[in-house]
Amino acid sequence: MLAKDIREMSEADINSRVAELERERFNLRLASGTRTLDDPLRLRVIRKDIARLNTVLREKIIGIAEAKEPTRVKARRVTGRRGRKSATASNRAKTSKRA
């Protein structure tokens, strides 16, 4: 189930889908204790679908239109013979006192 499909659903539909998946997850966990499951990865898929549904439901409740893409911080460029360790300010001060 894709997040964009979930966002088109109403809150009542999302809640009913969560309840349905929880019921299926319970039945699969119960069955896994007594026998071998045909598709053991189904438990993982159900768990992730429930989490995705709850996330979108929470977004709807607090009024977020869609989760924003995280911004990446640009890494600092380190130059020099000794690399990153010698480029920090505290290490520079220590090395200057020794010389």
Model's pTM, two decimal places?
A: 0.62
**Residues of 3-26 as b/e, b for ≥16 C-beta within 10 angstroms?**
eeebeebeeeebeebbeebeeebe
27 belongs to a structural domain: yes
Q: Could you report the per-residue pLDDT of 31-72, keeping only the tens digit for each?
A: 999 999 999 999 999 999 999 999 999 999 888 766 566 777
29 belongs to a structural domain: yes
Which of 28-32, 59-63, 73-77 has the lowest average pLDDT?
A: 73-77
68 belongs to a structural domain: no
85 belongs to a structural domain: no
67 belongs to a structural domain: no
Total of domains in the chain: 1
User: How does residue 91 score in pLDDT terms, banded at 50, 70 and 90?
Assistant: low
- Residue range of the domain that includes 51: 3-62
pLDDT at residue 78 tops 70: no
17 belongs to a structural domain: yes
pLDDT at residue 99 tops 70: no
Provide the CATH number for the domain around residue 28: 1.10.287
For residues 32 and 40, the answer to whether their CB atoms sit within 8 Å is yes
69 belongs to a structural domain: no
- Which position has the token pair 């429930």? 50
The more confident residue out of 4 and 95 is 4
